[in-house]
């Protein structure tokens, strides 16, 4: 789908799908060689897709074998790491190949493969929206050159968008698998792959934000200039209103998704497509207008761009272990006692056996296992045993140790690496999130009957991209009630009410405050 959006500014003619732009100065032999080159890349792409599926199948089998406690887990873990590297490498190579083919498609008009949606044909000839005398005549030579550069730059942007989306799908799969993994080489290999892909996507998202901003700003400036020059006041006012609404939407979604740049791209692309369609109609560029109108807008598959955040933090594999009396003692000297491990996240409960000015001989700890030692800022030596996930488990273990002869075993804890000397007393640090008391808003639509009209839905998709539309029964009238939201910004909700009201004054609309 990403590639569909990436070609929004490059007209696509359904009724002329068989036409390929004829080169004006390339001999027939060279043209044939170009087709052979493209075709060979297409063959290689299909081979790589097959190879990717084969490696993925082998990797799934290896992961299943590892999870089933198959003998020789060490070799299986090594094989998993090798297969993951092979899969990552071939996906990178496939992305590069597709990027190269995309450039050829934009330059030469070859058929453009679209993941999961079949095939369409791209034609970048004289019918391209800005490649005509209307724009040449209405812009200065410098501005027109910049507009063409912005148009051409969309090829690079499209590749970045598609790569981010593909990486995200792979990342989501790895994060899910990592959440199920137990401690060991397999978990470590998964996390290594997660770090690599996430770092690449963060870099790509930053680059996307920079490159797309240049394209968007250049195009909006040029289009606004043309409208102003030709005294198209009414259309210019409409575009300014929609631009204000776009800025509200951008503020609304910022920080809500994993990659702000990807979400902003979708909103701005939708805005530009509608703007360019109006300009094409205004300039009587019929083929360009038809092409732009036939494309799938980002709002029809907004989840491809509004991707939720994934937890890519490294998991902490806690060493939970019950305190036991083991005879003979596992320790013969104090040097064998490990330093207590303090985890950066989560909670760990242990049992404090005592705090001493000097290190103690292991004999005083009555053969308890395991033992941990820590020297705190007060220079005392603290000795602990056990490791528990909950306060209740640690309390029960402390009671057993007291019966075994320990004078004052006491439960202590670390919460996100912060020491808590008295957990369970009400002073334990809160590690969860605070309840969300932020005021939000929704738009209620009454009087639409059983369904919203296409015109009303178009306003919602344009002015509230990504917002959910729900149908419920009005508690007051028993009639269908449509709800759009929720909105963080009241001004955005009010702008939607105004937009819908202008399209259908018969509807009853209101903004409702929610928490």
- What average pLDDT is seen over the chain? 79
Closest CA relative to residue 354, chosen from 397, 385, 319:
385
pLDDT at 78: 78
Please indicate, yes or no, whether residues 338 and 415 belong to a single structural domain of this protein. Answer: yes
The region, left, alpha or beta by phi > 0 then psi within -120 to 50, assigned to residue 416 is left
Our measurement of the distance from residue 260's CA atom to the centroid of its chain's CA atoms, rounded to an integer in Å, reads 9
d(CA 460, CA 469): 9
Please indicate, yes or no, whether residues 262 and 375 belong to a single structural domain of this protein. Answer: no
Q: Examine residue 315 and state whether it is found in any structural domain, yes or no.
A: no
Beta bridge partners of 484: 443, 469
Q: Examine residue 354 and state whether it is found in any structural domain, yes or no.
A: yes
Instruction: Identify the domain containing residue 369 by its residue range.
Output: 324-420
pLDDT at 455: 83
Please indicate, yes or no, whether residues 135 and 191 belong to a single structural domain of this protein. Answer: yes
Domain edge (last residue) among 389, 420, 451: 420
Please indicate, yes or no, whether residues 334 and 393 belong to a single structural domain of this protein. Answer: yes
Q: Examine residue 435 and state whether it is found in any structural domain, yes or no.
A: no
d(CA 230, CA 237): 13
- Could you give the 3-state DSSP secondary structure of residue 468? strand
Please indicate, yes or no, whether residues 377 and 500 belong to a single structural domain of this protein. Answer: no
Please indicate, yes or no, whether residues 188 and 249 belong to a single structural domain of this protein. Answer: yes
For residue range 330-386, list pLDDT tens digits in order: 998 888 999 999 988 788 999 999 999 999 999 999 999 999 999 999 999 999 999
Which position has the higher pLDDT, 302 or 400? 400
Which position has the higher pLDDT, 92 or 40? 92
Query: Rg (Cα) of the chain, in Å, rounded?
Result: 31
Q: Examine residue 278 and state whether it is found in any structural domain, yes or no.
A: yes
Q: Examine residue 201 and state whether it is found in any structural domain, yes or no.
A: yes
pLDDT above 60 (res 104): yes
pLDDT above 70 (res 277): yes
pLDDT above 60 (res 440): yes
Question: Which are the contacts of 388, defined by CB distance < 8 A and separation ≥ 6?
Answer: 320, 322, 348, 349, 350, 394, 397
Please indicate, yes or no, whether residues 208 and 102 belong to a single structural domain of this protein. Answer: yes
Number of Cα atoms under 13 Å in the Cβ half of residue 475: 0
Domain edge (last residue) among 420, 452, 483: 420
Which pair of structure tokens corresponds to residue 473?
A: 């029964």
d(CA 136, CA 129): 11
Question: Which are the contacts of 341, defined by CB distance < 8 A and separation ≥ 6?
Answer: 319, 372
Please indicate, yes or no, whether residues 362 and 447 belong to a single structural domain of this protein. Answer: no
Let me know: does 5 contact 208? Beta carbons within 8 Å: no
Domain total of the chain: 3
User: Helix/strand/coil (H, E, C) string of 57-121?
Assistant: HHHHHHHHHHHCCCCCHHHHHHHHHHHHHHHHHHHHHHHHHHHHHHHHHHHHCCEEEECCCEEEE
Please indicate, yes or no, whether residues 510 and 402 belong to a single structural domain of this protein. Answer: no
DSSP letters along 191-207, please? Answer: HHHHHHHHHHHHHHHHH
d(CA 512, CA 506): 19
d(CA 443, CA 463): 12
CATH number where 449 lies = 3.30.70.1150
How much is the average pLDDT of 501-511? Answer: 89
Domain edge (last residue) among 240, 275, 304: 304
Q: Examine residue 75 and state whether it is found in any structural domain, yes or no.
A: yes
Beta bridge partners of 321: 387
pLDDT above 70 (res 38): no
Residue where the block lists tokens 């989306």: 165
Please indicate, yes or no, whether residues 414 and 448 belong to a single structural domain of this protein. Answer: no
Closest CA relative to residue 431, chosen from 444, 446, 420, 422:
420
Question: Which are the contacts of 315, defined by CB distance < 8 A and separation ≥ 6?
Answer: 178, 179, 181, 187, 191
Mean pLDDT comparison of 186-190, 404-408, 485-489, highest-scoring range: 404-408
Please indicate, yes or no, whether residues 212 and 344 belong to a single structural domain of this protein. Answer: no
For residue range 444-476, list pLDDT tens digits in order: 999 888 888 888 887 887 788 778 888 888 888
Which pair of structure tokens corresponds to residue 260?
A: 């702000």
Q: Examine residue 433 and state whether it is found in any structural domain, yes or no.
A: no
Please indicate, yes or no, whether residues 142 and 277 belong to a single structural domain of this protein. Answer: yes
Residue where the block lists tokens 């494309």: 295
Closest CA relative to residue 160, chosen from 214, 110, 203, 213:
203
Q: Examine residue 42 and state whether it is found in any structural domain, yes or no.
A: yes
pLDDT at 403: 93
Residue where the block lists tokens 């998993």: 80
User: Of how many residues is the chain composed?
Assistant: 515
d(CA 148, CA 152): 6
Residue 383 neighbours by CB distance under 10 Å: 23
For residue range 39-51, list pLDDT tens digits in order: 677 677 777 877 8
For residue range 397-438, list pLDDT tens digits in order: 999 999 999 999 999 999 988 999 989 775 444 443 344 456
């Amino acid at each position: 789908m990403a590639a569909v959006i990436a070609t929004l500014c490059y007209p696509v003619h359904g009724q002329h799908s068989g036409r390929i732009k004829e080169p004006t100065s390339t001999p027939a032999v060279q043209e044939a060689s170009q087709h052979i080159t493209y075709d060979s890349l297409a063959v290689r792409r299909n081979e790589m897709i097959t190879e990717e599926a084969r490696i993925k199948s082998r990797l799934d089998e290896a992961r299943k074998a590892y999870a089933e406690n198959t003998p020789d887990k060490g070799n299986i873990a090594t094989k998993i790491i090798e297969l993951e590297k092979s899969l990552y490498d071939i996906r990178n190579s496939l992305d590069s190949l597709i990027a190269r083919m995309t450039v050829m498609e934009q330059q030469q008009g070859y058929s453009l493969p679209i993941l999961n949606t079949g095939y369409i044909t791209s034609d970048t000839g004289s019918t391209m929206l800005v490649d005509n005398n209307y724009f040449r005549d209405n812009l200065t030579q410098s501005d027109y050159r910049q507009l063409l550069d912005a148009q051409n730059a969309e090829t690079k942007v499209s590749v970045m968008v598609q790569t981010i989306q593909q990486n995200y799908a792979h990342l989501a799969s790895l994060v899910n698998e990592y959440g199920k993994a137990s401690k060991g080489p397999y978990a470590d290999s998964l996390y290594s792959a997660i770090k690599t892909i996430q770092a690449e996507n963060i870099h790509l998202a930053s680059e996307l934000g920079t490159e797309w901003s240049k394209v968007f700003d250049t195009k909006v400036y040029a289009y606004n200039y043309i409208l102003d020059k030709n005294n198209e006041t009414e259309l210019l006012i409409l575009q300014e209103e929609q631009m204000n609404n776009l800025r509200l939407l951008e503020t609304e979604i910022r920080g809500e998704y994993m990659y702000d740049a990807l979400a902003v791209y979708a909103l701005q692309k939708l805005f530009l497509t509608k703007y360019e369609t109006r300009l094409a109609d205004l300039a009587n560029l019929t083929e360009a207008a038809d092409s732009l109108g036939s494309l799938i807008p980002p709002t029809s598959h907004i989840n491809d761009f509004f991707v939720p955040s994934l937890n890519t933090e490294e998991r902490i594999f806690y060493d939970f272990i019950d305190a036991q009396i083991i005879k003979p003692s596992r320790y013969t000297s104090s040097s064998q006692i490990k330093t207590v491990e303090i985890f950066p996240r989560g909670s760990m409960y242990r049992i404090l056996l005592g705090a001493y000015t000097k290190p103690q001989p292991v004999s005083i700890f009555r053969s308890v296992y395991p033992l941990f030692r820590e020297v705190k800022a007060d220079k005392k030596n603290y000795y602990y045993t056990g490791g528990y996930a909950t306060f209740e488990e640690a309390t029960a273990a402390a009671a057993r140790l007291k019966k075994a002869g320990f004078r004052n075993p006491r439960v202590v804890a670390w919460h996100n690496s912060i020491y808590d000397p008295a957990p369970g007393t009400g002073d334990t640090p809160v590690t969860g999130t605070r309840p969300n008391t932020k005021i939000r808003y929704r738009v209620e639509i009454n009087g639409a009957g059983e369904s919203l009209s296409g015109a009303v839905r178009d306003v919602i998709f344009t002015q509230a991209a990504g917002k959910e539309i729900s149908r419920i029964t009005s508690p007051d009238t028993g009639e269908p009630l449509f709800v759009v939201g929720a909105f963080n910004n009241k001004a955005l909700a009010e702008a939607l009410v105004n937009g819908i009201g202008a399209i259908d004054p018969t509807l009853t609309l209101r903004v409702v405050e929610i928490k």
